[in-house]
A and B are shown apart, each in its own frame.
Chain A
Amino acid sequence: MPPSEQGSGAGIAARGAPGAETDVGAAIAHDSAERHVRGSAAYVDDIREPAGTLHVAPGYAEATCGRLRSVDLDAVRRAPGVVAVLLASDIPGANECSPSLGGDPVLADSEILFHGQVVFAVAAASRRDARRAARLARIDVEEGAPAVDVEAGVHSGRQILPPYEFRCGTPRDAIAASPRIHEGTLRIGGQEHFYLEGQAALAIPEEAGEMYLHSSTQHPSDVQRLVARMLDVPLARVVCECRRMGGGFGGKESQAAQWACLAALAAHVTGRPAKVCLDRDDDMIMTGKRHDFRVAYRFGTDDEGRLTGVDVDFDARCGCSADLSLGVVDRTMFHADNAYYYPHARIHTRRVRTDTVSNTAFRGFGGPQGMLIAERMMDEIAIRLRLDPLTVRKRNLYGPGRDITPYGMRVRDNIAPRLIRTLERDCDYARRRRDIARYNAKAAHLRKGISLTPVKFGIAFTLKHLNQTGALVHLLTDGSIQVNHGGTEMGQGLHTKVAQVVSGEFGVEAARVRITATQTDKVPNTGPTAASSGTDLNAMAALRAARTIRSRLVALAARLYQVDRADITFGGGQVNTGRRSVPLAELARLAFTERVSLSSTGFYATPKITWDRDTATGRPFLYFAYGAACTEVTVDTMTGEMRVDRVDLLHDVGRSLNPAIDIGQIEGGFVQGMGWLTTEELVFDARGRLMTHAPSTYKIPACSDVPADFRVALWESRGNREPTVHRSKAVGEPPLMLALSVFSAITHAIATLAPGRVPPLDAPATPEAILRAVEALRD
């Protein structure tokens, strides 16, 4: 961090509690809340279509993998309303929509890599016409035998990327020398994002070969780059705009590009605006999901249940291409320790190629799968040693002298022990655990379980160059403020927080700040809005831009009013010069007449991170976000049905920029994680076709799945020890992993059937998976 910025965090701290005079730290509503409830918030498909807009539908083969022999599109072309049919050969530039490593064609050209891969696209006058026509193709494929699941992928010997490993100490020796040795396997299911707004893009061809895109994307810069490369035009000819997404969750980080490319290709070929809005089933079949895993683990403990050494092999199903699997599976490794100290560890990963859709980013980005193994080990220790699992967890936490992660980073901000103790007390863990034991002693068919699990989640993109962004702030002559930044709004409240931070700099209400749609021609060369980093990066960049303008205003006011710069403050919509107060609007008008610029860019790059993947050394994260959850469940041991009875969450957001938004992220993340671990099951058939490709068969949590007794609190933090924006912490992903407590509580409910034996429960814990684990204990 440059010296001039060193004081940013400290300066805010000196100003006293955030929110004292401004909206910073206030629980204000989402900046689009009123438009959400009125139905006037526009998503891509709601934008008024330019005259002549075509609708584009993708077409795919019935075959699940193999070489393309022929594509007969005669019937498609003859279908009513069809204007154009697009094939790979229509692409003027690169037929590629991969985020980095290649292997993701926009349109298949010689091979079908997975069931649902787009082979052609139809542009027609109406969406129904396009969709109907897209089903009329005859695609002949020399069909191969697909490797569908991770075992088949391992068996076929194809890995999409080389294996990667963290190793510290001498894990195998340490385990061998341990008084107790445990081993097991765990299957972890994937997850469909199920953003409510499906993938969507509208491409509008403009003059000089320019293409303007409205895209529901977490990564407008990458949409710009990929569309430009596909059309073989300079990036300067393509602009991508994203007003908002109807949910992203990682599913629109790399996966949005293909649909923007298809819309742009149709617009390029026909010269007319073209729109792609995926049908839900197509969306679920054609876009990547959370990686599913097969994990084998072996570990040793002492007699008190303290880990001595850990040896884990993760096999991740990456699907047919690399997509983001390098970073995703790395993060599995970074979080395979969760909040626990592994004195000796080997954490090994294989990125397995299968003939299925390429798995991708999903909230937590591989981290949840890594952490589930850590929690499985804790449960296993407790069950085998007949200890309270919370005791085992506490014994294994990072602590003084036990603070180096398996990847060599020192844990400096460890609040997990205190946070866990607080939640343990507040949720009355000990008494409830005793009550549950009494209930279970008498229960014939139903069993209860309770579990309290921690979360420690590293904040920063582990790919260092992504940790940068820009912002553009305009103060206008009526005192209103326009802000643009590199982040995208997908519901997480990023725009609201950025507006709050900027409003704090100018001493106005957040409502005076208008965040305009994310546009690549306003703030260029950005990374994706991902890795929970949206606010950390963009609010800081916007803050810097705002400070630049503010310092110009201070200089102007000091000159005009002959006061000392240090005496000038901003608050209540006024600029207070010590002698008199001037409305901000008035000072802005004066600045304009005095020819002082009221616009500034801001740039921010995360400091202190030094991770080098090749040598597996350095510091990957700026800090950790912490949390803990306690969940109580009831399991029906006859059918495997399960009900969540009570949930208590305590989560660390540093000093909250907006408690309402933060709590929304915590609750929503928890419930999404709970869905991943319970009702959400992706089922592929033997040929590699996704069978659960609609909400009728793929079940995300509904309202009644959330217990009425759901208690959520923010950790009373003195602020992030790192100089983040107003000492806040990232909150997008970490709470998802609070849901590990649900899985662990189910494990414990089942384990009461056969004390000392570990239920072989796989994720997701569907009724069938639970019953399987129950029956295994009864054998």
Chain B
Amino acid sequence: MPRTCIRFLRRGEVVELRDVEPDETLLEYLRLREGSMGTKEGCAEGDCGACTVVLGRRDGDRVRYEPVNACIYLLGMVDGRELVTVEDLSAPGEALHPVQAALIDHHGSQCGFCTPGFVMSLFALYHQGRAADRAGVNDWLAGNLCRCTGYRPIADAALASCTGRADDAFSRRSARTAAALASVDGEDDLFVGDEERFFAAPRSAASLSDLYLRHPDATLVTGATDVALWITKQLRRLPRVIHLGRVRELLRIDREGATLVLGAAVSYADAEEALGAVHPDIAEVLRRLGSKQIRAAGSVGGNVANGSPIGDTPPPLIALGAELELRRGDEVRRLALEDFFVDYGRQDRRPGEFVSRLFVPRLEPGQHFSCHKISKRFDQDISALLGAFRLSVSAGRVVDARIAFGGMAATPRRALRCEAALTGLRLRSPEAWRPAQDALDRDFRPIDDMRASATYRAGVAKALLAKALLEAGGTPRSETRVVGAEAERA
């Protein structure tokens, strides 16, 4: 029998909730049910970070703290976690938490509305176990917008307080919390509600496929970082929600020979290390994808399954030649990632079928890889376009090319004509690159929208190809990039 209540740890106590709406957000729970008003709604779409709370999850006998956006986090997804909000860091009248004290010392708040979110992001950073540097702070705070301070004092507060040595009430009771979490987060399936309205979080792939076959109209979520906006912005009701974040098999990161095998529910944060090891540009793409909050919740599998034309992970995965595994009942099939994307909003996925794993091959010697993301703002912005290039080079010539773009068509797509035109090209002869660049005009008919015009996209796609060729030819990234040059490979 599945468990029929969600269970999480809050202020040292186990909270059990039987009345959980499938589309209820964590922020609604905090503000409307708990009356915890410290957590703010700034945008209700996971961009501003004013609603940042921290979730603790068991990692052996320790607890790992990660920030998430409560506004787009479903309440049911808190199951098995410790929930920490700004009110919990220090009791009224008692000493402030080091990150709170540092924010005051550095004059890090003005209007104060974003401050609780910053406090919680800093709290998570404080517990990372390593001293923060400025670049790291920028990454940690990319998902927290402040309109008053200009960030400098907040960054200084982070550097002063997040020294890598956590010593607070949470670190001191870490082992106890881990033990409590072990008892909270069981091996049972979770099903709250009835057949008409439910929030379910199966624990095994078998339970998931059974449930999804029974309810092929249910909404699958891992981090709900996109789906939650259907709730908060389109005001849709989601009567049946299946959360993949507890499915054991979907949370695995394995290797099959040289191939990285990524479970579909592995969060961006958990995938960062393994995927980043494939190439530093992928680490850079992941660094600039959403924010810490988004990456702690969302998954590469979700980014793929969602089928958005502007998802950031499909282009590099396609360029690498990644494959996708889908499962329906006991039936499993595997296809090239680019073939999954059929058209805008349409993927090769049948009712009851779900994305289960991703297979990411490693780069071979002689293959040059690069990724370039273009957006109005460097951090936490959706791509106007993103180009990923895998060029096999021999004796100064391109012998094989795999190129994929996001933001250039209705789906993430390969640039097949450009790839063909590149074959045999000499890297040292930029004057000969033109046909390959022009081939992009035949590969793609980009659109005008608020992120960029079609003209800009078409022109910059060519520029990105030129950058990839320059870099493959040995031009240092410090001469081709204003950001991400640190990703230079030795």
Chain B residues, CB < 8 A from A603: none
Partner among B48, B377, B451, B460 whose Cβ is within 8 Å of the Cβ of A196: B48
- What separation, in Å, do the CA atoms of A34 and B119 have in the docked complex? 12
Query: Which of B107-115, B190-198, B258-266, B331-339 lies at the binding interface?
Result: B107-115
Q: Is there a chain B Cβ closer than 8 Å to A280's Cβ? A: yes
- Residue in B45, B90, B111, B466 whose beta carbon sits within 8 Å of that of A195 in the complex: B111
Interchain CA distance A696-B143 in the complex, whole Å: 11
Indicate whether A386 reaches chain B with its CB closer than 8 angstroms. Answer: no
| In the assembled complex, B86 has its CB within 8 A of some CB on chain A | yes
> Looking at the complex, which one of B107, B154, B453 makes contact with A768 (CB distance below 8 Å)?
B453
**Residues in A neighbouring B384, C-beta threshold 8 A:** 767
Contacts of A196 in B (CB 8 A): 40, 42, 48, 50, 111, 113-114, 145-147
Residues of chain B within 8 A (CB-CB) of A683 are 450
Q: Write the nearest CB–CB distance from A401 to chain B, whole angstroms.
A: 38
Complex Cα spacing A399 to B80, Å: 70
Interfacial chain B residues near A193, Cβ < 8 Å: 147
B277 within 8 A of A: no
Residue of B nearest to A658 (CB): B107
> DSSP class of B's interface residues: helix, strand, loop or mixed?
loop
Whether A636 and B481, one on each chain, are in contact in the complex, defined by CB atoms closer than 8 angstroms, is yes
Which residues between 424 and 473 of chain B lie within 8 Å of chain A, taking CB atoms?
449-453, 456, 459-460, 463-464, 466-467, 470
Partner pick for B138 among A43, A197, A663, A703, CB 8 A cutoff: A703
Q: Is A75 an interface residue (CB 8 A)?
A: no
* B450 lies within 8 A of A247 (CB): no
Closest to A704 in B: B138
B92 neighbours in A (Cβ, 8 Å): 38, 40
Q: Given that A196-B42, A641-B483 are contacting pairs, would A39 and B119 also be in contact in the complex, using a CB cutoff of 8 Å? A: yes
Whether the pair A671, B42 counts as a contact (CB closer than 8 A) is: no
Q: Does any Cβ of B come within 8 Å of A694's Cβ?
A: yes
Q: Does B297 contact A (CB under 8 A)?
A: no
Let me know if B456 and A768 touch, CB within 8 A. yes
B154, A703: Cβ atoms closer than 8 Å:
yes
**Contact stretch, chosen from A221-229, A439-447, A525-533, A580-588:** A439-447
Chain B residue numbers with a CB within 8 Å of A634 are 482
Q: In the docked arrangement, what's the CA distance between A766 and B378, Å?
A: 11
Nearest CB of A to B157, in Å? 10
Query: Given that A246-B40, A664-B149, A683-B450 are contacting pairs, would A695 and B110 also be in contact in the complex, using a CB cutoff of 8 Å?
Result: no
Known: A245-B111, A667-B150. A702 touches B466 (CB 8 A): no
- B16 sits at the interface (CB 8 A): no
Tell which of A104-112, A154-162, A489-497 binds the partner. Answer: A489-497
Answer yes or no: A42 CB below 8 A from chain B CBs.
yes
If A247-B147, A703-B144 touch, whether A697 touches B48 (CB-CB below 8 Å) is no
Cβ of B377 and Cβ of A36 under 8 Å apart? Answer: no
CA–CA, A197 to B40, complex, Å?
Answer: 8
Contact of B83 with A by CB under 8 A: no
Bound: A43/B480 CA distance, A: 46
B47 lies within 8 A of A491 (CB): no
Q: Judge whether B77 is part of the interface by a CB distance below 8 angstroms.
A: no
Q: Does B96 contact A (CB under 8 A)?
A: yes
Q: Chain A 43-87 against B: per-residue CB contact (8 Å), 1 yes, 0 no?
A: 101100000000000000000000000000000000000000000
Enumerate chain A residues within 8 angstroms of B141, measured Cβ to Cβ.
Answer: 702-703
CB atoms of B42 and A692 under 8 A apart:
no
Chain A nearest CB from B65 CB (Å) reads 17
A122 CB to nearest B CB, Å: 12
Question: Which of chain A's residues 382-410 have a Cβ closer than 8 Å to chain B?
Answer: none
CB-CB under 8 A for A247 and B148, given A443-B479, A641-B482, A771-B460: yes
State whether the Cβ of B420 lies closer than 8 Å to any Cβ in chain A: no
Say whether A691 faces chain B, with CB atoms less than 8 Å apart. yes
Contact B138 A39 (CB under 8 A): no
| In the assembled complex, A187 has its CB within 8 A of some CB on chain B | no
Given contacts A36-B109, A197-B42, A246-B113, are A703 and B450 in contact (CB under 8 A)?
A: no
B480 x A702 contact (CB < 8 A): no
Annotate B87-114 by CB proximity to A: 1 below 8 A, 0 otherwise.
Answer: 1011010001000110111010111111
Check if A697 sits within 8 Å of B451, measured CB to CB.
yes
Contacts A692-B450, A703-B137 known; A39 to B87 CB distance under 8 Å?
A: yes
Q: Which residues of A contact B70 (CB under 8 A)?
A: none
- The answer to whether the Cβ of B37 comes within 8 Å of any Cβ in the partner chain is yes
Is the beta-carbon distance between B86 and A664 smaller than 8 angstroms?
Answer: no
Given contacts A37-B115, A696-B382, is CB(A30)–CB(B48) below 8 Å?
Answer: no
- B311 in the interface (beta carbon within 8 A): no
> Contact between A195 and B483 (Cβ–Cβ < 8 Å)?
no
B376 contacts A39, C-beta separation under 8 Å: no
Q: Across the interface, which residues of A come within 8 angstroms of B483, CB to CB?
A: 641, 643
Residues of B within 8 A of A493 (CB): 110
B481 to chain A, nearest CB (A): 7
A670 close to chain B: CB less than 8 A: yes
Partner of A699, one of B96, B151, B376: B376
A and B contact pairs by CB, cutoff 8 A, 10 listed: A38-B90, A196-B114, A246-B112, A246-B114, A443-B479, A664-B148, A667-B149, A668-B147, A670-B150, A691-B449
Known: A38-B86, A132-B235. 7 other contacts (CB 8 A): A30-B112, A36-B116, A39-B37, A43-B40, A664-B149, A706-B151, A771-B456
**Closest 4 A-B residue pairs measured CB to CB?**
A39-B38, A491-B111, A246-B113, A36-B112
